[in-house]
Amino acid sequence: MPELPEVETVRRGLAPVMEGQRIAQADVNRPNLRWPFPPSMAGRLTGAKVLRLRRRSKYILADLSSGETLLIHLGMSGRMLISGDPLGRFVQEHPAAQKHDHVVLHMESGARVTFNDPRRFGAMDLLASNTVNMHPLLAAIGPEPLGNSFDEGYLISRFAGRNTPVKSALLDQKTVAGLGNIYVCETLYRARIHPAHKAGRIAAARVGALVPIIRQVLEQAIEAGGSSLRDFRQADGELGYFQHSFDVYGREGAPCRTPDCHDSVQRLVQSGRSTFYCPTCQR
11, 56, 58, 251: the active-site residue? 58
Spatial distance between the Cα atoms of 37 and 192, rounded to a whole number of angstroms: 44
Fold adopted by 152-277: Helicase, Ruva Protein; domain 3 (1.10.8)
Any catalytic annotation for residue 3? yes
Q: What percent of the chain has pLDDT over 70?
A: 88
Residue 277 — pLDDT band, cuts 50, 70, 90? very high
Spatial distance between the Cα atoms of 5 and 158, rounded to a whole number of angstroms: 23
* Nearest residue to 71 (alpha-carbon basis) of 125, 113, 27: 125
3, 6, 8, 186: the active-site residue? 3
Assess if CATH 1.10.3210.10 describes domain 4-134.
no
CA 61 to the chain's CA centroid: 12
- pLDDT for 30 equals 95
Region label for 75, one of left (φ > 0), alpha (ψ between -120 and 50) or beta (otherwise) = left
Number of CB atoms found within 10 A of residue 224's CB:
17
Strand partners, 26: 105
Q: Summarize pLDDT for 93-147 with one digit per residue, the tens.
A: 677 677 899 999 999 999 999 999 988 999 999 999 999 999 999 999 999 999 9
Domain boundaries, the chain: 4-134, 152-277
44, 162, 215, 273: the active-site residue? 273
Any catalytic annotation for residue 273? yes
Q: What is the 3-state secondary structure (H, E, C) of 213-270?
A: HHHHHHHHHHHCCCCCCCCCCCCCCCCCCHHHHCCCCCCCCCECCCCCCCCECEEEEE
Q: What average pLDDT does range 53-68 have in this prediction?
A: 97
Torsion angles phi and psi, residue 280, rounded to 5:
-85, -45
pLDDT at 231 over 50: no
2, 5, 143, 195: the active-site residue? 2
